[in-house]
Amino acid sequence: MFMVVVGLGVLLLHWYLWRRLVHDTTRTPRARRAGTVVLAVLAGLTVAGLVLPQVVGVEVGAWFAWPGYLWFAVFFYLLLILAVLELPRLALRRWMRKPAAAPEPALVPAAAPAPEPAPEPAPVDLGRRLFVARAAAVVAGAGASTIVGAGVVSALGPPEVKRLTVPITGLAEELRGFRIAVVSDIHLGPLLGRAHTERVVRMLNETAPDLVAMVGDLADGTVAELGHAAEPLRDLVSRHGTYFVTGNHEYYSGHQQWVTELERLGLHYLHNSNTPITQGDNGFTLAGVTDLNGRKYDDAPNMIRALSTRDTSKPTVLLAHQPVQVEDAAKHSVDLQLSGHTHGGQLWPFHYAVRLSQPAVSGLSKVDKTWLYVTNGVGSWGPPVRVGAAPDISVIELVPDA
For residue 11, being part of any structural domain is answered with yes
Percent of the chain with pLDDT over 90: 67
The dihedral over CA atoms of 240, 244, 245, 251, expressed in degrees to the nearest 10, equals -160
Domain, as residue range, for 218? 160-400
**CB contact at 8 A, 395 and 210:** no
Q: What pLDDT does residue 92 have?
A: 66
- Domain assignment present for 116: no
Question: What span, in angstroms and rounded, lies between the C-alpha atoms of 302 and 320?
Answer: 11
- Domain co-membership, 140 together with 268: no
In a domain, residue 105? The reply is: no
Q: Is the dihedral of CA 124, 125, 128, 130 positive or negative?
A: positive
> Which helix H or strand E contains 65, and what residues bound it?
helix 58-95
224 & 359 share domain: yes
Q: Is 114 within the bounds of a domain?
A: no
Which amino acid belongs to residue 331?
A: K
Q: Identify whether residues 45 and 80 lie together within a single domain.
A: yes
Element (H, E) at 223: helix 223-230
pTM: 0.86
pLDDT band at 361 (very low <50, low <70, confident <90, very high): very high
Q: Give the model's confidence band at 87: pLDDT under 50 very low, under 70 low, under 90 confident, else very high.
A: confident
Length reported for the chain: 402
For the segment 112-139, what is each residue's pLDDT rounded down to a tens digit?
Answer: 565 666 655 555 556 778 888 888 899 9
| 143 and 182 co-located in one domain | no
pLDDT band at 49 (very low <50, low <70, confident <90, very high): confident
pLDDT of residue 359: 94
Is the same domain home to 179 and 52? no
Q: Is residue 262 part of a domain?
A: yes
Is residue 295 domain-resident?
yes
* Residue 331 resides in a domain: yes
Residue at which a domain ends, from 153, 169, 190: 153
Please tell me whether residues 164 and 147 are part of one structural domain: no
Are 236 and 244 within 8 A, CB to CB? no
Question: Per the domain annotation, does 102 fall within a domain?
Answer: no
Same domain, 295 and 325: yes
What CATH code is carried by the domain that includes residue 213?
A: 3.60.21.10
Residues 142, 210, single domain; the answer is no
Helix (H) or strand (E) holding 370: strand 370-374
Residues in a beta bridge with 318: 287, 337
Query: Is the pLDDT at 374 greater than 90, yes or no?
Result: yes
- Is residue 52 within 8 Å of residue 221, measured between CB atoms? no
> Is there a contact between 268 and 242 (Cβ–Cβ < 8 Å)?
yes
141 & 177 share domain:
no
- DSSP, residue by residue, 127-190: HHHHHHHHHHHHHHHHHHHHHHHHHHHHHHSPPEEEEEEEEETT--GGGTTEEEEEE----BSS
Give me the DSSP letters along 374-392.
E---SS-SSSS--BS---E
Residue-wise pLDDT tens digits, 316-360: 999 999 999 999 999 999 999 999 999 999 999 999 999 999 999
- Is 200 in the same domain as 149? no
Q: Which residue has the higher pLDDT, 205 or 94?
A: 205
Last residue of a domain, one of 116, 138, 153: 153
What's the pLDDT tens digit per position in 260-283? 999 999 999 999 999 999 988 899
Phi, psi of 274 (to 5 degrees): -145, 165
CA distance 147 to 312: 49
pLDDT at 256: 94
CA–CA gap between residue 44 and residue 72 (Å, rounded): 11
Q: What is the pLDDT of residues 202-259, one digit of tens each?
A: 999 999 999 999 999 999 989 999 999 999 999 999 999 999 999 999 998 889 999 9
Q: What angle do CA 131, 135, 138 make, to 5 degrees?
A: 140
Question: Contact at 8 Å (CB) between 185 and 217?
Answer: yes
Do 382 and 237 belong to one domain?
Answer: yes
Number of domains forming the structure of the chain: 2
Q: Are residues 144 and 223 in the same domain?
A: no
Please state, as a whole number, how many other Cβ atoms lie within 10 Å of the Cβ of residue 402.
Answer: 5
Higher pLDDT, 324 or 190: 324
When the pLDDT of each residue in the chain is averaged and rounded to a whole number, the result is 88
